[in-house]
Structure 1
Amino acid sequence: MPKLEIKRKSELSRKEVGERLIMIGRALAHGSEVELKTGDDSIEIVVADRLHWELEIEVDGDETEIEIEIKWRDDPAAETDSGETPEPAPKPARTPKPAPAKSTRRPRARKTTAK
């Protein structure tokens, strides 16, 4: 059982739903603290840098359902609820070794003897 769960269902216009999705998207893109509002309620949560994203689209006759699930753990080293291990962070690019410096000395002239 979750420690905290908030559920709100309502019927909104397409524009209202779009505005809410944009609000959530902007909040996620601009910082780790996200304030979510629904009606008179609001909750502020801290979002991890790496998230698990799930998109499900189901069409059944004349009904279409889109579910978007975003979840994360406060401990990024922990496994997700689905048993999947989080994707490792990209490794930093290797810095190529610098080419050896060219000598500025002139080569010595060789004495050759004519035979």
Structure 2
Amino acid sequence: MPKLEIKRKTELSRKEAGERLIMIGRALVAGSEVELKTGDDSIEVVVADRLRWELEIEVDGDETEIEIEISWHDDPVAETSSVATPKPKSAPKPAPAKTARRPRARKTTAK
């Protein structure tokens, strides 16, 4: 499958940025299909049930940067369930337990 990457940088008001984050959040809560819009472009992606979330906050002088990264693998459950899994072999019989040796009796000589 070819790699697809779309990058858009724009300047927004705090309210506009918040509205975009809310839109993404609502789409994630509503179902697995999320439509992302930026300007005249839009793309629809199918999001897995389990995600990796990464949050990075960087303060450098007078500039603050917050990065939120959400990533996932495409439906790993469907892939593993379609592959036949071999039945496990019966467990090998355990080796017999070693018995502790009795201490040998010492011969004593009478004096």
Shorter-chain-normalised TM-score: which range?
0.5 to 0.7
What whole-Å deviation, never above 9, does each CA across 1:12-66 have from its counterpart, x for those lacking one? 0000000000000000011000000000000000000000000000011111000
SS at match of 1:42: strand
**Equivalent-residue separation in structure 2 for 1:56 and 1:67 (angstroms):** 5
**Equivalent-residue separation in structure 2 for 1:76 and 1:50 (angstroms):** 10
**Structure 1 unmatched ranges of 5 or more:** 78-115
Partner residue in 1 for 2:65: 65
Task: Give the paired residue count.
Answer: 76
Partner residue in 2 for 1:16: 16
**Structure 2 unmatched ranges of 5 or more:** 78-111
**Equivalent-residue separation in structure 2 for 1:19 and 1:48 (angstroms):** 23
- Aligned-pair identity (%): 88
- TM-score by length of structure 2 reads 0.66
Whether the 8 Å CA contact 1:59–1:65 is kept in 2: the answer is yes
Runs of 4+ displaced beyond 6 Å: none
**Equivalent-residue separation in structure 1 for 2:61 and 2:42 (angstroms):** 36
Whether the 8 Å CA contact 1:50–1:76 is kept in 2: the answer is no
- TM-score by length of structure 1 reads 0.64
CA RMSD, Structure 1 to Structure 2 (Å)? 1.2
